[in-house]
Amino acid sequence: MFSVATRTTIIDIEKLIRMALHQSCLAFEMLVGPGTGDLDREFIIANAFTQTLADNMDGLLIKAEENWERTKHEASIHFNVLLSRLALNEGIASSDVATILSNCDFPEHKIIADSDFDPVKHFDLFKKLSQIARSGNNGLPKMPKGYEILSDYLIKLRLET
């Protein structure tokens, strides 16, 4: 189980869950990223996010198309959001590229899985997949499934401190 070091950590987790319940793309990125330690990320994702998250991600994809960044780092971030959005169409809430590529079926996944893949050079692929992602339905519920469950999770974490 997640061991909490300080009260500040609990407050940060509470903020993160609150952001998730408000369908924040930033909260989603934080939860699927490597910096959350032992926090039960999949549990929070499964209980907090709704179809609104996909709509918010669609906005990020449109903005990325309009303002394509030419640095590899920025283009990689845009592709990560894109792959996460494609995964939502399959009912998978993740931004782990290996997980997405192994569970999502689209012909271009081999290009992205290539170790020499340079996202800056594949803007046309980004636009094509972005349109596919935005046109598909996502597998998320309309309402958060577990507001009370997440509240109980926070109480449990508080009691561990």
Rounded to two decimals, the pTM is 0.68
Percent of the chain topping pLDDT 90:
0
Q: Are residues 26 and 61 in the same domain?
A: no
Q: Are residues 126 and 153 in the same domain?
A: no
Q: Are residues 133 and 74 in the same domain?
A: yes
The helix/strand/coil state of 125 is helix
What are the angstrom distances between the C-alpha of 140 and each of 12, 58, 75, 116, 127? 25, 14, 26, 32, 23
Q: Are residues 98 and 136 in the same domain?
A: yes
Cα 150 → chain centroid: 18
Q: Are residues 88 and 127 in the same domain?
A: yes
Are 15 and 36 in contact by the 8 Å Cβ rule? The answer is no
Q: Are residues 83 and 128 in the same domain?
A: yes
The total of structural domains in the chain comes to: 2
Angle, alpha carbons 63-67-68 (nearest 5°) = 110
- Which residue range forms the structural domain that includes residue 93? 51-140
Banded pLDDT at 2 (limits 50, 70, 90):
very low
| Residue owning tokens 């449109």 | 62
Provide CB contacts within 8 A for 136, sequence distance 6+: 86, 89
Q: Are residues 118 and 136 in the same domain?
A: yes
Q: Are residues 72 and 125 in the same domain?
A: yes
pLDDT at 100: 79
Q: Are residues 7 and 57 in the same domain?
A: no
Q: Are residues 135 and 152 in the same domain?
A: no
Burial state string for 132-158 with b = 16 or more CB within 10 A and e = fewer than 16: ebbeeebebeeebebeeebeebeeebe
Are 132 and 106 in contact by the 8 Å Cβ rule? The answer is yes
Could you read off the pLDDT of 88-135 as tens digits, one per residue? 877 777 767 777 778 777 777 778 877 788 888 888 988 988 888 888
Are 76 and 95 in contact by the 8 Å Cβ rule? The answer is no
* Total Cβ atoms within 10 A of residue 3: 10
Closest CA to 51 of 153, 136, 152: 136
Q: Are residues 23 and 77 in the same domain?
A: no
Q: Are residues 26 and 80 in the same domain?
A: no
List, in sequence order, every beta strand (DSSP E) within the chain. Answer: none
Give the CB-side neighbour count of residue 97, counting CA atoms within 13 A.
15
Could you read off the pLDDT of 122-131 as tens digits, one per residue? 889 889 888 8
